[in-house]
Each structure stands twice: as structure tokens, then as C-alpha cells.
Structure 1
């Protein structure tokens, strides 16, 4: 299975880069992992809805350049479906069993994802109704993908 994580913005904090690198290394024995960073747009304080729409559209265009027609696209969205780690593991396993060889996860910037990207996505996934920094979500997502592979392999780690 090939997993691609497409995220808006660079990870600046060393502790997040280290955590992401650790999970990327661990995932190496289960899948081919690619992490793609697209440039973010500066969002002015108290930006209007129109300005935010333009920012999301620009970031969305950058994301869209990396989306593959043959990939199953999962967008992280606060209003997406929530699942347990076991359900998430089953979803990844089922995709593989049904012929999907490439899953692309998309993490938007600080103001979310463009509607065009949300429409393109095959599934909307939410980790919580809470808001998290998008940089942190990259590490949390990789940890959950790693957990899913460990669950599917029947290996210890999960609990």
C-alpha cells in the first residue's frame, strides 16, 4: 500500500519534525509513505470570509496538483466522520482488500480545506470536534496510521 500525506505548510517545530520522522520510519515496514508539503498562505488577523475563501482556494490549487485520480482521498475535516482506532484500521485494510493501492490523506491549513478539495475527497475523517493545530495533526495522523497497521497485523502496541 502506498500512503501519501499532503499537508499545508512547513513543520517548523523540531519536536513535531522528530515525531513525524519517527512514525515515518516505523511505517516503512508496512507501506510506502510519502509526505508532501504545499505552501501555505498568510492569513491576516480578522480576515473576512471572502479573504479566507481566496486563501483556501490558493492552498486548494496547490493540493490538487498532488491528488491522483487512482488514489482514495481522505480529507481531514472537523465535520467528517469519527471512528475508533479499530474502525480506522479496518477501513485501511478493507480499502486494500478491494483493490486500492494508494491512499492520500489531506490536511488543510489553519483555516481548513477548500470546498473543491472536500468535494474531491472520497471520505471525510474527523479526529475530534475539537480544533487542533494542523502541524500537530500530521504527527497524530501518522501515529494512527501506524496503529492501524499494528492492529491489522495483530501485533502488540495498540493498548
Structure 2
């Protein structure tokens, strides 16, 4: 079973985001071993670099890293599903998705990524991005499994 680690800068506080994330975490348990890690957001001068160091330290060795960033590649849910299947069939057993803080991601985290992925040219709250990423990971696995979830 594939391991998926979601590393997020910032802590979810809003109940509605927490409940949505919990729902997708429950659903994903049928497809992967999911781990969600929260890195404290650092708003002090130079904080983005310190966040980056903590994020890099949390990435398991031999992980394929996907950095969620506005300048990343846009793709459909089916395209993401195909990419995830390709990674798995090439022997990658650990995927690591990274969501930065409201300030974004440090350059060193983006450089570590095998894929820079953008959800949209629109701007979303970074806490909502966590729900959206979990949903898209679930959707990608569902597409690969041929389920009726994706229409």
C-alpha cells in the first residue's frame, strides 16, 4: 500500500476544515497509509526559510515530493491520477505532498520537489487548500480504482 504524507505549514483551527479533512483521511484509509504533519507557521523575519528547513526535515527518504505552489503545473484530476499510477508503477512507494503557509513555500522546498503543482490560478485560503489536496488525492485513487466517485 502506498504511503502518502501531507506536510502542511500552519495548524487547522476551524472546525469545518477539520471535519472535512477528517472525512477525506477516513476515505483515504482504503487506498493508502496517510500521515498528516503540521509544521508551525513562522511569521518572524526569515520565517519562510525556517519553515522550509522544518518541511525538508519532515520529508521521508526516497519520497516523491509534490509541492503545491501557485506557479506550479495545472492538471486535471485524471492527469493527477495517471501521474500517481505512473509513480507507483515505477517503484515509488512514498508520495509527499507539501502545502506551505499563507506566505508560500521556500525556494529550497520547491527545488526538492519532483513536481510543482497548482490547483488553480485562483487564490484560496491555505487551510482550504489542505481539504482540496486531500480530496484530490482521494479522487486520484478513486479514478485509478474505477470507482464511481469521479464523474
TM exceeds 0.5? yes
Q: Structure 2-normalised TM-score?
A: 0.97
Mapped partners of 1:65, 1:17: distance in 2: 25
Size of the aligned set, in residue pairs, is 150
5+ residue gaps, structure 1, are: 44-50
Instruction: Give secondary structure in 2 for the equivalent of 1:110.
Output: coil
1:67 deviates by: 1.2
Q: How does 1:8-157 map to 2 (within 5 A)?
A: 8-42=9-43, 51=45, 54-157=46-149
Instruction: Give secondary structure in 1 for the equivalent of 2:109.
Output: helix
Q: What do you get for the CA RMSD once the two structures are aligned? A: 0.9
Instruction: Give secondary structure in 2 for the equivalent of 1:65.
Output: helix
5+ residue gaps, structure 2, are: none
- Whichever of the two has the greater Rg, that structure is 1
Q: Deviations over 1:123-151 (max 9, x none)?
A: 10000111211111111000001111110
Moved over 2 A (4+): none
Mapped partners of 1:5, 1:68: distance in 2: 11
Mapped partners of 1:127, 1:81: distance in 2: 8
Partner of 1:47: none
Instruction: Give secondary structure in 1 for the equivalent of 2:75.
Output: coil
Instruction: Give secondary structure in 1 for the equivalent of 2:36.
Output: strand
